[in-house]
Amino acid sequence: MGVRPNIILIYSDDHGYADLGAQGVDKDIRTPNLDALARDGVRFVHGYVSAPQCVPSRAGVITGRYQQRFGVEDNTKGPLPLAELTIAERLKPAGYVSCQVGKWHLEPPPAKGGDNEAGANRKAGALAFFPLAQGFDEYYTGAMNSFVASHDLAGNKLPNAPQTLTDKRFRCVWQTDAALSFVDRHKRDPFFLYLAYFTPHVPLESPEPWFSKTPENLPKERRQAIAMIAAMDDGIGKLRAKLVAEGIEKNTLIFFISDNGAPLKAGAWNGSLNLPLVGEKGMLTDGGIRTPFMAVWPGTLPAGKTYEPPVINLDVAATAIALAGLPGDEKLDGVNLIPFVQGTKPGNPHDALFWRWRSQAAIRASHWKLILLGKDERYLFDMNEPDGQAETHNLIDKFPQVAADLEKQLMAWNATLPPPGLPRSVVGEDQKFFDEHVLGPAVTGIRPPIHPAVNTAASAAGEVNATQGWLGRNCTLVVTDGALQIHTGKNAAKPFITRNNLKLTGPVTATLRVRCPAGGAGEFSWRTSEQTDFVAGQSTSFSLAAQTDWQDLRVELPVRGRLVHVRLAFPGNHTPNIATIELTGSDAKASADWTTKTKDSHP
């Protein structure tokens, strides 16, 4: 066996694709030490994680296996089963000593009303599933200001460990100190360090001296995210300097990955950005699962390399095991990335990558990506299109055979998982995600700003929603001659248009001016602010005469409560034109319109 390199895995938290200076996306982000990782190593342009949420992503990276194989599908499905082998457990036969620092998040979910601090988890009996039970010799496990530890930050082994310690400093600071302490103790051993910074995940803070250096014109949340990322960046700089000082930087491989994309929805935004990608945490679009992803190993990996083929967080485990000189394991879903990056192994690391999460499933093979939402909605994207455009052009009707072949591969992979069936009904939040981010069918409806308080490059360039908030589902919306046209393809799913984020007090009156030569029955359906999904019985039908002239209709919607989301379906697969849709609440103070002239749709 040759020299066994040290392995460091750094995992940030809810850290969006844009928030790495080396990506060249946002001018306000400052990450000099992370940028140095890219300059000294490899930046994986299409680096993915196995889930758009914290727990399953962490279960995937630490085991090297699709987390669905052992039931950790989402944040409610922990803990990580003790029977699953972690990277730490796999490296033990090669003589590695391992340490976990920061957020673990693979213990049983805390009791309702509790927090995720180390003390609360210890009281709940979760220590049986902490890193100390998963092959880690040393640990500083905690997200905020208390943590379960085997050693103090000075490096002294604690009697009667594990013990719960507290540190009032900003969380990234003590997490960095813990990592430095571990390296200092084991600089002459082969080691594995899993450093899971709890940043820039909420709760947001304004740590100094970093916060004062952020641009004052930005929203507070954005400034806080930038400051928290800067604190992590400084810590990574100190860690790399430690490796250099100890003369072990050329024998240490570092991976840096975010666990998923940033959340953007109102009330949950953590200040981070996914630009120019479409979507957010909780989605299988790239904004949810494509993250900052880098590796550096001075003298072994090429410096300053930009690697285009798709890779995934599952590759970390397979890479570490191969470098430790251990035999491969067919149970691992990742691959050893080193020969691919060095160019000694031809081709791409993966023929296909797969995802299954909640009511979504996806596959990426070559430059194609297929997303399934429930049983009816399919989205086919050509990922060779520029970032930010690829996942706004649904090509499902243009390339039906490509979509069919991808779905066949996805279903074959899915059949290897317990349970093999894909979700059939759409989870309400997933539907809202897809509606709000203007995917595929609404090709003329440019994505709304990432967050209303952020003047992004996209919004500054004049990208506005040409369809005034109305989105097409299983159809395409096109604005022609002042009319909203609904174009359907060969998709068998029923087409409809939808609008979210409304504020209409019921009952609601709908006024339409429509042209539909085929005629037939149409339908409005809705959900209220108290509901997370559309429910049976909340719909009203109307009739359209078969005529080529415009016709005016008035439809009463017996809404009880506050209408926030509406769907409008037209007869069969015909292509009506719409001159006007006006929804007016009972107080007559709010409306949601499509008209030939833009109108303010909120009070």
CB burial of 95-129 (b: ≥16 within 10 Å; e: otherwise) equals ebbbbbbbbbbbbebeeeeeebbbeebbeeebbeb
Does 371 have pLDDT greater than 90?
Answer: yes
Q: Which residues contact 125 (CB under 8 A, 6 or more apart)?
A: none
Given a contact cutoff of 8 angstroms between Cβ atoms, the answer to whether 128 and 104 are in contact is no
Does the pTM of the predicted model rise above 0.95? Answer: no
Half-sphere exposure of 502 (CA within 13 A, CB side): 31
The pLDDT assigned to 305 comes to 97
User: What 8-state DSSP symbol labels residue 157?
Assistant: B
Over the chain, what is the mean pLDDT? Answer: 86
Task: Render pLDDT for 263-305 as a digit per residue (tens, 0 to 9).
Answer: 997 558 999 999 999 999 999 999 999 999 999 999 999 999 9
Does 418 have pLDDT greater than 60?
Answer: yes
Q: Which residues contact 344 (CB under 8 A, 6 or more apart)?
A: none
Task: Render pLDDT for 447-470 as a digit per residue (tens, 0 to 9).
Answer: 333 333 343 333 322 223 456 677
Across residues 52-77, what is the average pLDDT? 96
Residues forming beta bridges with residue 484, ordered by sequence position: 479, 578
Report the alpha-carbon angle 517-518-520, nearest 5. Answer: 120
Does 14 have pLDDT greater than 90?
Answer: yes
Lowest model confidence (mean pLDDT) among 96-105, 184-193, 255-264, 519-528: 519-528
User: What 8-state DSSP symbol labels residue 85?
Assistant: P
Give the 3-state secondary structure of residue 168.
Answer: coil
Q: Which residue has the tokens 């949950």?
A: 268
Across residues 523-538, what is the average pLDDT? 84
Question: Greater confidence, 315 or 576?
Answer: 315
The pLDDT assigned to 227 comes to 98
The pLDDT assigned to 67 comes to 98
Across residues 43-68, what is the average pLDDT? 98
The pLDDT assigned to 335 comes to 98
Across residues 64-80, what is the average pLDDT? 94
The pLDDT assigned to 257 comes to 98
Domains of the chain and CATH, by start: 6-348 (3.40.720.10), 354-426 (3.30.1120.10), 467-594 (2.60.120.430)
